[in-house]
Chains A and B, each alone.
Chain A
Amino acid sequence: MTRKLDLNDIQGNVTRAYGRYSFPFARYYFFHFPDPASGRAFVDKVRTVVTTAARWPKKDQKPEDPSMVQPKPDCTTNIALSFTGLLALGLPVRTLQAFPDEFIEGMKARAFILGDRDPGETERAAEKNKWDAHWDPIWQNNRTSSAPAEGDVHMLVTLNAQLAPDTTDKPHPALAERAEWLLEAARKAGVRHLGGIGAKGDEDYQSASAVFENVGGVNLPTRKEHFGFTDGIGDPVFEGQLSAEDEAKAVVGRGKLMGEGWQPLATGEFVLGHPDESQELPPTAPPYEFMRNGTFVAFRKLHENVGTFDRVLKEEAKRYANVANVGDVEAEETLRAKMCGRWSDGVPLAKVPTYQDWRAFQKQHKFDPDTPDLEAYKNHDVYVRSGEARDFRYADDMPGYKCPSGAHIRRVNTRDYLDPLNKTGKDPETGKPHENPDATSALNKRRRILRRGLPYGPSNNEAKDDSTEQGVIMLIMCASLFRQFEFVQQQWIQYGLDFHQGNNTCPLLGRHDRHKRHTIPENPESGKPPYVMSKLDTFVECRGGDYFFVPSMTALRMMAMGIVDPT
C-alpha cells in the first residue's frame, strides 16, 4: 500500500526534480534578516507563491482527487532556511536545540568531513592557509564566526522556469517577473538581498541551466553536465511521492531491492514526520507540526575543472590505448565509462559492458552517430527516461569486470553491492565469480539522497577551461544530512574501503591531491590486462554552500506568524 501524503503541505522541489519536468532554468537567491520582524514579514510574503508538491494535471486525464491538483506553473518558487536564519527569526531555544548537530554547525564547519578542505591538513593549519579562498565571496563571508554575523546567509529562494513559449533555449518571462517581485518584496520587508556570487563576486544570484547543445541546427537543453556525462538518471523514488500508476514505472531501478523486486523507499528517508527505513519516525524538533513534511537540503556549488579533466583523460587514454591495444576513440570512451559507471550517453556498464556492445546498443536504439541528430536526441530522451537505463544491479559483478567497484555511480548508489552475503572470489563449481541473485539493498537504503539541482555555466557551443565558470549546483535533499549525504560524501566519495579501493577516492568527484589512482579490473577471459589510472587530478571542487531546512507550508506559516511554540 502506498503512503498517502499531504502534497499541499510539502514543498514541490521535495517530490520533483524540476529539471526533469521541463524546467531547464533556475535562479538561486540568498537573503539576510537584519531582525526577526523583517524576516517574518518576508517569509509571510514569499510563502504565498511557494510551489507545493500538489500533482500537475496530465494531458487528457481526469485527476484522482481534484484538491490535490494544481496547474503546472511557468516558474516555481521554493524556500529554505539556514540555521542562522532560524536563529535570526527568533525561534524558541527548545525548538532550535533539537535540530541536528550538522545542520546547526553548517556546511563550512563540516568541510573537513566532506573533503572540501584537504583532510591531510589540520583545521588550524587550514584556517591559516585560508583554505576557502577559492569559494565565492558570499560563501566566504557566511558564518565567519559562531556569533551572528553580517554576512550570514539566512534564506535561500529557488526559482525554476520552463522554456519561453515557442523557443528552445530561452527562459519563460515569468522567471524575470518573479525575480523582480521577490527583490521588491525583500526591499519592502527590510530584508537584505545578498550578492557576492561567482568567482569574482559580481553576480546577484546564482544562475543555473541545463547545458545546451546545437542539435540539428537548433539549441536544445541536454541531460549533460560539463564533462559530457548524462546526469540525473537514478534519483530515488519514495512512497507517496508519485501516483500509484506513475510509481510502478518509476520505481524500477530507483527504489530498493528487498527480495520482492523494486520497491519505493520509505517516505521518512526524505520527508520528516513519516516512518523511515528503520521503521521509526526521524527525530524532529518540537512542536510536532513544525518539522513534519519538511526536509533538509545541502546547497553546494561544485565547480568542474573541464580543462584538467580533458587533459588527464587524453594522457591516460594514450597509455590505455597502448596497453589494451585499442584505438584512441575507444580508449577515451572506455576510460570515461569506467570512471563513471555509465557510457557518456547514460547506458550503464552493468548492462552493456564493452565498447563494441555499446556501439551496437546505440545503433539498436537509434541514438547512434548515424541517426539524424534530432531523431537521435528524441530517442535518447525516451531511453534515459525508461526503466531500462536504471534496472541493473552489482551483486552479479562483484569483481567489477563490467563496472569497476570504484566507479562513480557504484559508489554513490551501491544498490545490492554491499549485501553482507555477497561473496568475493570465485565459485568453485562454475569457476566464475559468485552472483547472489537474492542480494538486497540492505546497506544502501538508508544512504540515499534526492538530487535537485542543475548545471551552471556556458552551453556546449562555447569554449571551457578550468577558469571559466561551470559546474553543477547540487541541491541534495534527505531527512538526515549526517546519515545520508555526509556519509556518502565522506565514506564513499572521499574514501574507498567499502569498495576494496583502500583510500582511493571517487574518480570523478573525489579529491585527487593525494590519491590519484583508479583501478579498472579486467575479466581474465577478455585477454586484456587490468589498468590503473594513476594521474587523476581534482576535477570537481566545492565553491561554497550551506545546509538549509526546507519547511512545510504549515511551518512557513508558523514562522511567518511567529507562533512556533514547543511547550
Chain B
Amino acid sequence: MNVVTPSHPRNTWINRLLFMASRGLPENLLGLLGLSLIHFARWVILKPADWPNLGQGKEELQNDYVLFCSNFNGTWDQYIDAFSDGIPSGLDLFWYSAIKYPKSIPITPFKNYITFNQIDTDYYYNATPGSAQRDIKTSLAIYDQVLKLVDLHKHSSPEEFAAAFRKAAYNMQIGLGDPGFGPVASLATEAADENRKDYVERSQERFQGLRSLRKEQKNA
C-alpha cells in the first residue's frame, strides 16, 4: 500500500519529531510490530524540493508530503481494520500533521481518507510466495534448530541426542504448521488469476521464441 498525504509545512516538524522519537525508543513501535500481518511499513517525509524532476518540469508544491509504504498479508479491508482496531492512537500520531486527516476511529472516514490518498500498486513482486512474515520467522528459527541437531548427530550419544532433540522440539513447537498460500480475497481475484494465466503463458511463449531467435542469430 502506498499513501501520499499532504502536511502543512508549518506542522511537518512535529511529525519529524514523532518519527525520531519512535526510532529512538523502539518500544513505542511494539504495537505496530505486533500486528503480524504487516511485513514492512515505512513513513517518509518529502519536502517540495525533494520531488524528482523526471522531465515533467519542476513541481509547484505548497505542502510537504508524507509517503507511507507498506507490505502486508491479507486483504485491504482486513489490513485497515487491524490498523484502526489495534493501534488507533499510534496511527493518529504518525499522521498527526496530515491535512484533513479524520483520525483512525470511526473507521469509515479513515478508510475513505486512505482510499482518496492512496496510489494503486500496478506490480508486486513477492520473493516468498506462500509465506507470510510470521511463517518466515518461525521457519528460520526451526532451520537453526535443525542445523544444530544435524551437527550434534555426528558426535553425540543416542541419549545426548534424544535430550537435545526434545529441547529443540520445545523451541520449534511455535511454528510447526503447514506452509502454503493464504486465502484468496475473493472469487473475482481467483477468476482474474485464472483468466490472466492464458495471457501470461502466451507472452512467455513469445519470449521463449524471441530468446531462441536471438540465440540463433548469435550463433550464425
Contacts and interface: CB of A to CB of B under 8 A. Distances in A.
Contacts of B87: 420
B186 A483 contact: no
Contacts of A543: none
A443 to B, nearest CB: 5
Given A124-B194, A500-B134, A529-B169, A280 B177 contact: no
A529 B166 contact: yes
Contacts of A502: 135, 175-180
Contact of A445 (B78, B85, B167, B177): B85
Interface string B20-36: 00000000001111111
B9 interface: no
B182 A497 contact: yes
A548 to B, nearest CB: 21
B209 interface: no
Interface stretch (A145-153, A221-229, A448-456, A514-522): A514-522
Interface in B50-109: 73-74, 77-78, 81-82, 84-87, 105-108
A123 interface: yes
A530 B175 CA distance: 12
**Dominant secondary structure at the A interface:** loop
Given A124-B194, A495-B183, A497-B135, A278 B84 contact: yes
B180 A503 contact: yes
Interface string A267-307: 00000000001111001000000000000000000000000
Nearest to A499: B177
B18 interface: no
Given A122-B194, A421-B31, A278 B106 contact: yes
B121 interface: no
Nearest to A282: B108
A261 to B, nearest CB: 20
Interface string B129-153: 0001011001000000000000000
Contact of A421 (B34, B107, B180, B182): B34
Contacts of A277: 85
B44 interface: no
B35 A504 contact: no
Contacts of B82: 443
Interface in A491-508: 491, 494-498, 500-504
Interface residues of B, number: 48
Nearest to A406: B177
Contacts of A109: 187
A491 B190 contact: no
Contact of A515 (B31, B108, B180): B180
A418 B177 CA distance: 18
A57 B106 CA distance: 38
B177 A500 contact: yes
Contact of B190 (A123, A419, A483, A497): A123
B30 A420 contact: yes
B113 to A, nearest CB: 14
B187 A123 contact: yes
Contacts of B74: 491
A532 B183 contact: no
Given A113-B186, A280-B106, A420 B178 contact: no
Nearest to B109: A280
B17 interface: no
Contacts of A406: 177
B173 interface: yes
B170 A522 contact: yes
Contacts of B119: none
B4 to A, nearest CB: 25
A420 B86 contact: yes
A504 B36 CA distance: 17
Contacts of B34: 419-423
A264 interface: no
A113 B184 CA distance: 7
Nearest to B30: A421
Residue of A418, A423, A517 with highest tally of chain B CB at under 10 A: A418
Interface of A: 109, 112-113, 119, 122-124, 277-280, 283, 399, 406, 418-424, 442-443, 445-446, 482-483, 487, 490-491, 494-498, 500-504, 514-515, 517, 519, 521-522, 524, 529-530, 532
21 contacts: A113-B183, A113-B184, A278-B105, A278-B107, A399-B174, A419-B86, A420-B30, A420-B32, A483-B77, A487-B78, A495-B183, A497-B36, A501-B177, A502-B176, A503-B180, A503-B181, A519-B177, A521-B173, A522-B170, A530-B176, A532-B176
Given A446-B81, A530-B176, 20 more contacts: A112-B187, A113-B187, A119-B184, A122-B194, A278-B85, A280-B106, A406-B177, A420-B35, A421-B30, A423-B30, A443-B82, A443-B86, A491-B78, A497-B37, A497-B182, A498-B36, A529-B169, A530-B170, A530-B172, A532-B176
